[in-house]
């Protein structure tokens, strides 16, 4: 197993949020997590996948492209 298991606090720090947000993702089953006894851990790759899946790319219009070149 090469993937680091993060605590909820570590995941929150990486995301730049409070611990409540990753806990809500876990409760809503929106992110992969592992139960180690009564502890909950989030694989680092699951966090990366979640961020990638929810990244929104900007819309580039023709007008912006022209002003960026000039």
Which of the four pLDDT bands, split at 50, 70 and 90, describes residue 50?
very high
Q: Does residue 64 belong to any structural domain of this protein?
A: no
Tally the domains of the chain.
1
Q: Is the pLDDT of residue 69 over 90?
A: no
2 band by pLDDT with thresholds 50, 70 and 90: confident
Spatial contact of 50 and 41, defined as CB atoms under 8 Å apart = no
Do the domain assignments include residue 61? no
pLDDT by residue (tens digit) across 6-42?
999 999 999 999 999 999 999 999 999 999 999 999 9
Kindly state whether residue 22 falls inside one of the protein's structural domains: yes
Domain that holds residue 33: 5-55
- Decide if 22 contacts 14 (C-beta within 8 A): no
**16 HSE (CA, 13 A, CB side):** 1
Q: For residue 29, is it within any domain?
A: yes
**Per-residue pLDDT at 70:** 53
Q: Is residue 30 part of a domain?
A: yes
Residue 67 lies in a domain: no
């Amino acid at each position: 197993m090469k993937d680091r298991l993060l605590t909820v606090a570590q995941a929150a720090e990486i995301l730049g949020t409070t611990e409540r947000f990753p806990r809500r993702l876990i409760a809503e089953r929106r992110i992969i997590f592992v139960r180690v006894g009564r502890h909950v851990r989030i694989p680092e790759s699951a966090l990366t996948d979640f961020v990638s899946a929810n990244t929104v790319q900007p819309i580039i219009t023709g007008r912006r492209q022209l002003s960026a070149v000039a």
